Amino acid sequence: HFMARFTRTIVSGTFGTQQSSEESSSTELVFHTPPEKQQQQQDEQPAATAATSPTTMGNNRKNKKSRGSRKGSGLQRFQLSLRAENLPNTSFFRTASPYATVEIVGGPQDGTVLGQTEVIKKSLSPDWCEILFLETSANIHMPLRVTLWDQRGDDSLPPISMATAEFEATAVYQSPGKTQTDSIGKRGKLHIHIEESFVGDLRGKLKLQLRGLDMKNVEPGPFGLGRSDPFFEIAKKNADHHIATVNWNVVYRSEHIDNNLNPYWDPTVIDLEKLCFGQADWPLKISVWDHNSNGNHVLIGEFETNLPHMQERISIKGNADRDQAVLLGQQVKTNNKTYGLLVVLKAEILHDDQNPV
């Protein structure tokens, strides 16, 4: 077993108070029965979670169903997102494929499993795009336990526990940038961000389909015969002007298409609560990457947008409409070069009573 020690910070309190203590603990890699696939939280369900508990989760807590909010309950809905960097690896022979599970470990919802993120293959610095939802209020103490797992191989092999960290929901929300960080191992860090779930009044889903044209080939390969394997990410802007910080929280990641400089991605449906907090003009960023099997993806290009802008750029002349296409650039570059075009084939708002198919 691989052994890692890390300092865990437990932050507790309500919106008015914060308490912190540090304790040193060791984390031993243990085998774990993989959790069942989580069902995506729906807008119309006000419950804190509808996720299914893993078979075993460290302390073998019994999963409890959240009762959700009622009119006059005083509960407010929040979004929880996670990312990590420089996690300790679990093997000398391969790179870990981590995912995270989140459980409430105190207060009135003690034992509730909020859900789990997706698995990010071969990455020690995962940026998970799966958003978890919770409901709390100023007078509720809600300690959270985040457990990181390495999904090794196929489903026949049980995942390995990488580390655990504990936070308190309202204390995270009150922190600068609405974010807290805990140390994992010698160099690793786990970041948790909690944000109000609704800013605007827009409800429903976005049906989106994109394709690329003339993507810059960043993977020439031997003799120039290689081609990029593009995928795209959509991130929403999180800014805290009090501390002058801006972060982009990835909320969607497409499939990658092998050896194609004019990729045609499958249509997808994204919940507007998850995408833009229900506010149409919330800043978004679309980035196109070249996929590499070792997890070291290379940026091809990106651009900032929002829902109205994407709808304005919907293709008029078919799936290769260069007049309506959006130019991909790289902000770190100063040569104003174009790194490809992105064609918006569909950007349709679907209300809750509409079929997304």
Give the pLDDT confidence of 162-200 residue by residue, as tens digits.
999 999 999 999 999 999 999 999 999 999 999 999 999
> Using CA atoms, how far apart are residues 75 and 73, in angstroms rounded to an integer?
5
Among 114, 118, 121, CA closest to 129:
118
Beta-carbon count within 10 A of 291 CB: 17
> Using CA atoms, how far apart are residues 49 and 69, in angstroms rounded to an integer?
11
Q: What is the pLDDT of residues 231-244, one digit of tens each?
A: 999 999 998 888 88
Query: How many CA within 13 A on the CB side of residue 56?
Result: 10
Q: What is the pLDDT of residue 163?
A: 97
Q: What is the pLDDT of residue 256?
A: 97
Residue 51, pLDDT above cutoff 80 = no
Q: What is the pLDDT of residue 108?
A: 85
Q: Which amino acid is present at 14?
A: T
Indicate the pTM of the whole model: 0.77
Q: What are phi and psi of 166, to 5 degrees?
A: -125, 140
Task: Kindly tell me the burial class for residue 270, based on how many C-beta atoms sit within 10 Å of its own C-beta (0-12, 13-18, 19 or more).
Answer: middle
Sheet of strand 284-290, all strands in order from the earlier edge strand to the far edge? 245-253, 230-240, 284-290, 298-305
Residues 6+ apart with CB under 8 A from 190: 82, 83, 84, 146, 148, 163, 165, 181, 182, 184
Q: Dihedral of the CA atoms 125, 129, 132, 137 (nearest 10)?
A: 80
Q: What is the pLDDT of residue 347?
A: 98
- Strand blocks (E) in the chain: 3-12, 19-28, 76-85, 98-104, 113-116, 132-136, 143-150, 160-168, 179-184, 188-196, 205-213, 230-240, 245-253, 268-271, 284-290, 298-305, 326-327, 341-350
8 Å CB contact between 335 and 325: no
Three-state SS at 72 = coil
Residue 223, pLDDT above cutoff 80 = no
Q: What is the pLDDT of residue 74?
A: 82
The length of the chain, given as a count of residues: 357
> Using CA atoms, how far apart are residues 103 and 111, in angstroms rounded to an integer?
6
Confidence of residue 72 (pLDDT cuts 50, 70, 90): low
8 Å CB contact between 287 and 211: no
Q: What is the pLDDT of residue 336?
A: 61
Q: Which residues pair with 346 in a beta bridge?
A: 209
